[in-house]
């Protein structure tokens, strides 16, 4: 509207403010990789719409020089993150935290960064042994790029279990967005001591991306893609904050899996192969 002095006065009309749609969130804990691979990863990590926080930490097997790289400078990774956000069509910012090279991965370190906190006031059934509430609807995933002596469950299953089934039985607040924390180790993998801190002390669950041994940059991209898709499943099925028996929850998970399989099937309803080409005369 026009003001008395001839200028333009902006007036907010009640009920016209569009609230942003809540979205799942992913925190990535990344052991400092080769600087060239980190530069490659910055725009890729930030292009994932659910990634809200990236924590770079020096693991026991990370090279000391990695933490001195210019790839950890905000003037270097800042424009790369903006480019990735533009490519992903996202507006939610990405928080980056570069840990001190002398810091070690301990339970106290994770508590200080808020990685063990739950924003649920309703859930009081914390794990007695580790003091971490595994029913808080947060999938804490420990991903190791090294050799696995025992094959852990797929990362997708961990997300569905932590954000879905356990959240349902916890009776937590409805409408809460599912979220995940993904820890990816360095080229030489996490040490046994670091694995003990993540899994035994902090409630992370070991997970795999399959039988292949991937480079760190590949593991980050594949892991973020799998976790993002699994969070979409949880949100679409209305599993977080919901309820139901074991059979009902398992039924929703099975229905979702069957639906995805049918949608990706290359055959038509009459089970005849579907040609990718337009055949003249059809």
| Token digits of residue 64 | 């000391």
pLDDT band at 7 (very low <50, low <70, confident <90, very high): low
Overall average pLDDT of the 142-153 stretch: 71
* Euclidean distance between the first and the last CA atom of the chain, given in angstroms as a whole number: 60
Encoded tokens for 98? 């570069």
In tens, the pLDDT along 62-114 reads 999 999 999 999 999 999 999 999 988 877 899 999 999 999 999 999 999 99
Q: pLDDT: is 20 or 245 the higher one?
A: 20
Q: Can you list the domains of the chain with their CATH numbers?
A: 25-117+125-263 (3.40.1280.10)
> CA 57 to CA 194: how far, in whole Å?
12
Regarding predicted confidence, which is higher, 158 or 261?
158
Beta strand pairing call for 25-31 and 138-143: unpaired
Least confident interval from 103-107, 162-166, 213-217, 244-248: 244-248
How far is it, in rounded angstroms, from Cα 178 to Cα 206?
19
Backbone phi, psi, residue 76, to 5°: -95, -50
pLDDT at 5: 64
**In the structure, what pLDDT confidence band is assigned to residue 182 with cuts at 50, 70 and 90?**
very high
* 8 Å CB contact between 160 and 205: no
Whole-angstrom Cα distance, residue 181 to residue 185? 13
Q: What are the phi and psi torsion angles at 237 (to 5°)?
A: -80, -5
Quick one: residue 271, left, alpha or beta (phi over 0 = left, psi -120 to 50 = alpha)? left
Confidence at residue 97, expressed as pLDDT on a 0 to 100 scale: 96
* 37-76 pLDDT per residue, tens: 999 999 999 999 999 999 999 999 999 999 999 999 999 9
- Which residue shows structure tokens 């991937």? 214
Quickly tell me which residue has 């339970």 as its tokens.
107
80-89, 118-127, 212-221, range with the lowest pLDDT = 118-127
| More reliable by pLDDT, 273 or 2 | 2
Stated pTM of the model? 0.74
Strand partners, 54: 28, 96
């Amino acid at each position: 509207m026009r003001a008395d002095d001839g200028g333009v006065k902006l007036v907010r009309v009640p009920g016209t403010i569009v609230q942003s749609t809540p979205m799942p969130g992913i925190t990535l804990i990344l052991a400092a990789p080769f600087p060239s691979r980190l530069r490659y990863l910055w725009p890729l990590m930030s292009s994932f719409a659910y990634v809200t926080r990236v924590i770079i930490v020096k693991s026991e097997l990370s090279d000391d020089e990695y933490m001195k790289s210019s790839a950890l400078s905000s003037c270097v990774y800042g424009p790369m993150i903006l480019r990735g956000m533009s490519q992903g069509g996202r507006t939610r910012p990405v928080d980056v935290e570069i840990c001190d090279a002398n810091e070690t991965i301990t339970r106290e370190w994770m508590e200080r960064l808020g990685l063990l906190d739950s924003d649920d006031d309703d859930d009081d059934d914390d794990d007695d042994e580790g003091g971490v509430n595994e029913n808080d609807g947060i999938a804490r995933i420990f991903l190791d790029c090294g050799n696995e002596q025992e094959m852990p469950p797929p990362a997708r299953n961990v997300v569905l279990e932590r954000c879905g089934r356990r959240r349902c039985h916890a009776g937590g607040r409805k409408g809460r967005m599912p979220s995940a924390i993904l820890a990816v180790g360095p080229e030489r993998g996490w040490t046994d001591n670091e694995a003990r801190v993540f899994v035994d002390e902090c409630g992370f669950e070991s997970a795999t991306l399959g039988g292949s041994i991937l480079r760190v940059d590949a593991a980050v991209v594949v892991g973020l893609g799998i976790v993002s898709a699994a969070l979409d499943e949880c949100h679409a099925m209305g599993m977080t904050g919901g309820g139901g028996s074991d059979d009902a929850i398992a039924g929703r998970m099975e229905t979702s899996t069957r639906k995805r399989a049918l949608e990706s099937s290359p055959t038509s309803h009459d089970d005849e192969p579907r040609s990718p080409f337009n055949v003249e005369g059809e």
